[in-house]
């Protein structure tokens, strides 16, 4: 009797990450590092393998493998050697870097993802690959409260590759039954420095320059409204989504809204924490990228299907970012 109660309990707590052996490809970036830590807590560090093309030192609590995701043979060896069952494919060239190096964006974001999803199909792995608000663009979608299903006409190579990832993931799900999942992240803000290769990265950079120099030259104009989220909340949402019961997911790709604000509003919140802080605006090529993206997002499907919710003010967010920044900068 006791055994059957135990089995019942285990069943009721089982979720899509239960018993998983997870590979995080692209583990040394803004999202990869905190996600690896969160996954180690969730499934145990012996069940997580972190991989990246970069050999730079990083605080990783689990095994590390060097990997260029465009190299199928190496990717396959890692999946097989570690008996991976869940691929978290993060490696990508983001929007601003991609406009400078489109061939690299194609190699990493297209070839890399093709390798990952073929490995998921052939080795019966689940696969998560984040998408982005960069899939939106063009004239034919509402920029306020953008829903999941609109005409996608991205205007960056990054956005084009993310649409390809979403479409291919959906196709592999229908055709081969691959458990593909994607969240379209808004801009993610951290309390750590990282390589600022995106268009939304002003929102993290501004804090470090405010603390180090007292002023910031913003590469987007003051009224550039964009959806954003704090890294801890993004990671918690991602873990919840990775765990979600596949049969409850009514779609494979979900919008995630976060909170929408513009540089002027973020600067005003920052000035409450650092009264002498000053901001100037010198929009560059990233302005055009930001102008094509939604100002705010409708994520009601994520709320309904897997329980996502988010509710913060810009002042709360600024305080959270500030509190998370290491004392050495203050």
Taking residue 18's Cβ as centre, other Cβ atoms within 10 Å add up to 12
Interface with ligand AKB in residues 139-158 (CB under 6 A): 158
Q: For ligand AKB, which residue of 60, 70, 94, 266 counts as binding (CB under 6 A)? A: 94
Backbone angles phi, psi at 325, to 5 degrees: -75, 135
* Continuous segment of H or E residues that includes residue 270: helix 263-273
Q: For ligand NAD, which residue of 34, 98, 130, 227 counts as binding (CB under 6 A)? A: 130
Stretch that binds ligand NAD, among 51-59, 135-143, 148-156, 214-222 (CB under 6 A): 51-59
Judge whether 230 counts as a catalytic residue.
Answer: no
Q: Does 199 bind ligand AKB (CB under 6 A)?
A: yes
The 3-state secondary structure of 145-187 reads CECCCCCCCCCCHHHHHHHHHHHHHHHHHHHHCCCEEEEEECE
| Residues that contact ligand NAD, how many (by CB under 6 A) | 30
Q: Does 108 bind ligand NAD (CB under 6 A)?
A: yes
Q: For ligand AKB, which residue of 109, 132, 191, 255 counts as binding (CB under 6 A)? A: 132
* Continuous segment of H or E residues that includes residue 33: helix 32-43
Residue 163 binding: pick among ligand AKB, ligand NAD, none (C-beta 5-8 Å cut-off by kind): none
Residue 95 binding: pick among ligand NAD, ligand AKB, none (C-beta 5-8 Å cut-off by kind): ligand AKB
Sign of torsion over alpha carbons 155, 94, 320, 237: positive
Backbone angles phi, psi at 107, to 5 degrees: -65, -50
Q: Does 28 bind ligand NAD (CB under 6 A)?
A: yes
Q: For ligand AKB, which residue of 17, 25, 133, 292 counts as binding (CB under 6 A)? A: 133
Q: Which of 75, 86, 128, 158 is catalytic?
A: 158
By C-beta, is 47 or 95 nearer to ligand AKB?
95
Q: Does 137 bind ligand AKB (CB under 6 A)?
A: no
Q: For ligand AKB, which residue of 67, 78, 120, 134 counts as binding (CB under 6 A)? A: 134
| Count, residues in the chain | 330
Within 8 A by CB and 6+ apart from 253, the residues are 131, 148, 166, 169, 170, 181, 182, 183, 184
Taking residue 277's Cβ as centre, other Cβ atoms within 10 Å add up to 20
Pairing of strands 226-230, 259-261: antiparallel
Structure tokens at 58: 């990083």
Structure tokens at 208: 């470090």
**Sites of contact with ligand NAD (CB under 6 A):** 25-26, 28-32, 52-54, 67-70, 90-92, 94, 108, 112, 130, 132, 185, 187-188, 194-195, 197-198, 200
**Sites of contact with ligand AKB (CB under 6 A):** 94-95, 132-134, 158, 187, 198-200
């Amino acid at each position: 009797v006791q055994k059957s109660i135990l089995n019942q309990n285990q069943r009721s707590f089982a979720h899509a990450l239960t018993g998983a052996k997870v590979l995080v490809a692209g583990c040394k970036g803004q999202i990869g590092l905190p996600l690896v830590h969160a996954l180690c807590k969730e499934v145990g560090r012996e069940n997580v393998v972190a991989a990246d093309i970069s050999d730079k030192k990083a605080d990783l609590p689990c095994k590390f493998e060097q990997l260029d995701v465009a190299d199928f043979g190496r990717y396959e060896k890692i999946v097989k050697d570690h008996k991976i069952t869940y691929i978290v494919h993060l490696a990508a060239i983001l929007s601003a870097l991609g406009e400078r190096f489109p061939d690299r964006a194609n190699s990493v974001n297209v070839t890399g993802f093709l390798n990952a999803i073929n490995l998921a199909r052939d080795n019966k792995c689940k696969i998560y690959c984040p998408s982005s608000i960069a899939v939106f663009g063009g004239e034919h979608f509402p920029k306020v409260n953008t829903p999941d299903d609109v005409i996608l006409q991205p205007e960056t190579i990054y956005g084009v590759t993310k649409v390809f990832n979403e479409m291919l993931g959906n196709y592999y799900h229908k055709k081969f039954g691959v458990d593909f999942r994607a969240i379209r992240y808004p801009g993610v803000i951290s309390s750590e420095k990282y390589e600022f290769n995106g268009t939304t990265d002003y929102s993290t950079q501004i804090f470090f320059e405010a603390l180090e120099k007292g002023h910031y030259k913003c590469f987007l104009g003051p009224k550039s409204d964009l959806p954003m989220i704090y890294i801890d909340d993004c990671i918690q949402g991602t873990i919840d989504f990775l765990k979600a019961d596949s049969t409850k997911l009514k779609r494979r790709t979900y919008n995630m809204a976060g909170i929408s604000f513009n540089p002027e509003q973020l600067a005003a919140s920052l000035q409450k924490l650092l009264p002498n802080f000053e901001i100037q605006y010198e929009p560059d090529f990233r302005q055009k990228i930001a102008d094509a993206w939604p100002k705010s997002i409708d994520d009601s499907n994520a709320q309904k299907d897997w329980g996502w919710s988010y509710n913060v003010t810009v002042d709360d967010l600024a305080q959270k970012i500030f509190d998370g920044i290491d004392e050495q900068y203050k």
